[in-house]
Amino acid sequence: MGGEEKVRSYLLDLGLSYEEVGDSTFLINDEEKGLKNIVAMVSEPLVILRVKVMEMPDSDREQLYKELLRLNAEDLIHGAYALEGDHVILIDTLEVETMDLEELRASFEAIGLALVQHYKVLGRYRQKSKREGV
């Protein structure tokens, strides 16, 4: 079974709501399970899970970097926070060949948990105008 078929099968087995948005790319939106706008992309030999967490603030970036590094070291079970352009993302990678259903489940659960647990901490760095929708 190829990587794309394996991921599709596991998403179905996990009962996750998703849509295929491109070649080997799945968008998971399952609010019941705390998973919103998570992209799963198969890029052999890897499966990459990623979600945009927030835009980078105009100020306090150094403090945000320290907070992200602390969270990576002390509080994340799977994956890591990273920077992509002007966004903070949460990303995890799995090897297609050795990935099993439980490993994929654990990665999704860890991402969902991190998004909930770190919301308040990272919220301090969101720009005021962005929070207020201005």
Position with higher pLDDT, 34 vs 68: 68
pLDDT number for residue 130? 53
CATH number for the segment(s) 3-126: 3.30.1460.10
Quickly state the pLDDT bin for 33 (edges 50, 70, 90): confident
Hey, where are the domains in the chain? 3-126
User: Is the pLDDT at 131 greater than 90, yes or no?
Assistant: no
User: Which one-letter amino acid corresponds to residue 16?
Assistant: L
Q: What is the pLDDT of residue 132?
A: 43
pTM reported for the whole predicted model: 0.89
Q: What is the pLDDT of residues 70-122, one digit of tens each?
A: 999 999 989 999 999 999 999 999 999 999 999 999 999 999 999 999 999 99
